[in-house]
Amino acid sequence: MEARLRTQRPRPPTPTSRPRGGPRAPRPHAPPPTHSVPTRGAAAGSKGPGRRRRLSHERGRPDVGPAPPPPASLGALHTAPPRPSPLRGCTPHPSPPRTALAGGGRRLPTQKEAVQIKKQAEPGAPRFCLLRGTHRPRSCSRWSWEHKIWRTVSRDRLKFLSLKMGTLLLWLLFICEARSHAVPTPNFVLLMADDLGIGDPGCYGNKTLRTPNIDRLARGGVKLTQHLAASPLCTPSRAAFMTGRYPIRSGMASRSQVGVFIFSASSGGLPHSEITFAKLLKNQGYSTALIGKWHLGTSCRSSTDLCHHPLSHGFDYFHGLPMTNLRDCKPGAGSVFTRALRLLVFTPLQVIAITLLTLAMLRCLGLVQVPRCVFFCLSFLAALVLGTLLCFLHYFRPLNCFLMRNRDITQQPMSYDNLTQRLTADAAQFIQRNAKTPFLLVLAFLHMHTALFSSKDFAGKSKHGAYGDAAEEMDWSVGQILDVLDELKLANNTLVYFSSDQGAHVEEVTVKGEGHGGSNGIYKGGKANNWEGGIRVPGILRWPGVIQAGLEIDEPTSNMDIFPTVAKLAGSPLPEDRIIDGRDLMPLLQGRSHRSDHEFLFHYCNFYLNAVRWHPQNRTSLERQ
């Protein structure tokens, strides 16, 4: 190979091999070496005195330091025949080799390469060697691998790599910026009152009922002035709140006049096929709890299967009333079955009594021969009806008014003594247990549903009788939850929602004439009807740093909107196999949108459609500070 390379004629360099900015010149031949092969250490180019530093003008590399001084004399060189190089495949190369081109041809080295070869041919310089299978000159020094890299990587490839690295850097910056502006995953505290009117809280205009903690919540968050319940009754409204769907879609809209669950022996309830926000958040790693009123059914085929229990719908913990609070649950508070008893009991008893008296008179006058067995049967029937009434009134309270913790009954019948304090303390303990993990807490108050009750600390303290006492005790409970969030420094990472399942029951009056219903403000109607007073409820949301404080929004919203809002904030996708009637509230709450996504809202009373609310698309909201 060496002989063949020596006999080839020099050719002028190609345009690609011309040094940048310099003239074309013929390839000079380096003179043959006039010295013998250096010693083994010098030939290796690693630690011997013949090693030379790379210069700054070579290969465009920066200067790495002055070259070592040449040997003092040639005495260190011996005249023995050349030894094989310790580097594999390397032999002394006295003449300039031809360099391989990218296309497969060969060319003579450039002028810069020739100068380098000439300098390396001087005494004391490291040898050049040919790698096997190539015709590239290679330095046998420790910098040889850098020569190969800088020879093979072209300027275009460097530009391409720079472009890729720049694109990757831009993507990383974009992801970091997006994460810095992304809404963090919050905790959720959902406070649901029962039969609280929109005219009851002070932040909605009440000047005589003291609700400082609800007002504090409104000052620190957003107040919705057109917040609407999906139904004016407890059970369907709570089903819509949990699922984000109209109750008629989930089968929770009754065709009869009684649209709620009253008896624990009822076999109905929220279907297993329905997805609650508790199920979605539980799948996202949240700890979930429901404390207070459930009222969406308990069992299916037996009293022990508890297929409609809160634990079957995504909640990890439950403590409260599986049914509802009724006047029949509190001794001396009356009964909600008065009208039914008059129709089903007193009327038959009156008919039986009149029949007995008439037959007795006719028999005494001798006008009719009445067998004694007729009197016996009628008397037995009357006793049976009366006994059924007495058994119902006696056993209703223990069979339907009881407290449960998870699947166990803890109090039967339940006692109203400090009941709000007990449930509030349990809610606070749940927050403390899960302070370091994301959690969902639904605190469903038993206030303001009748029977009204309050502890000794609040009884007789308000200006509105028993209703005002219960409202102020509920406000105290709201304050306790807010204080726990502040103490644990969770307020800035917790979305708090406060509302009611429907409007106030303004028709609720005791046998003594005392009104036990709340105020719906300027709106007509109340619970159990679709007038504005029955479905317009308070709506307050607070999330410091994310939701603007002290804002009022006059756009129509629904309690069904909590489902998609909570799901999106928790990072859970919405179910795609069903229609979700709720809409995400965050664009409206954060000011990114000035119009509600609801164009139509349908108002049902049980199974029957009573009204439709139309929100024109060209209408924008009125926001007030």
Which position among 93, 147, 227, 295 bears the catalytic label?
A: 295
3 state SS for 64-124: CCCCCCCCCCHHHCCCCCCCCCCCCCCCCCCCCCCEECCCCCEECCCHHHHHHHHHHCCCC
Helices 234-243 and 562-569 meet at what angle, rounded to 10? 30
Measured CA to CA, the distance from residue 287 to residue 578 in angstroms comes to 25
Which residue, chain included where needed, has tokens 């804002």?
551
Which residue, chain included where needed, has tokens 């969406």?
296
Give 343: exposed, middle or buried? Use CB within 10 Å, 0-12, 13-18, 19+: exposed
Measured CA to CA, the distance from residue 313 to residue 397 in angstroms comes to 26
**332: Cβ–Cβ under 8 A, 6 or more apart, which residues?**
none
The tokens for 174 are 């974009």
Backbone angles phi, psi at 601, to 5 degrees: -130, 125
Measured CA to CA, the distance from residue 601 to residue 343 in angstroms comes to 37
Does 67 sit behind a cis peptide bond, omega within 30 degrees of 0 on the bond before it? no
Q: What is the largest CA-CA distance in the chain?
A: 164
Could you give the strand order of the β-sheet that contains 287-293, starting from the edge strand earlier in sequence? Answer: 408-411, 403-405, 317-321, 287-293, 439-444, 187-193, 494-500, 539-542, 222-224, 551-553, 623-624
Annotation says 234 is catalytic: yes
Q: Show the DSSP H helices in 305-412 as ranges.
A: 338-341, 347-365, 372-400
For residue 592, give the amino acid letter: R
Length of the chain, please?
625
Give 548: exposed, middle or buried? Use CB within 10 Å, 0-12, 13-18, 19+: middle
The answer to whether residues 89 and 131 touch, using CB atoms and an 8 Å cutoff, is: yes
β-pair partners for 193: 500
Which position among 90, 129, 140, 234 bears the catalytic label?
A: 234
**In this structure, what DSSP letter does residue 552 have?**
E
The answer to whether residues 476 and 213 touch, using CB atoms and an 8 Å cutoff, is: yes
**382: Cβ–Cβ under 8 A, 6 or more apart, which residues?**
349, 352, 353, 356
Measured CA to CA, the distance from residue 479 to residue 490 in angstroms comes to 15
Q: Up-side HSE of residue 95: CA atoms within 13 Å toward CB?
A: 13
The answer to whether residues 475 and 210 touch, using CB atoms and an 8 Å cutoff, is: yes
**DSSP string computed for 30-46:** PPPP-S----HHHHHTS
Backbone angles phi, psi at 485, to 5 degrees: -65, -40
Active site residues: 234, 295
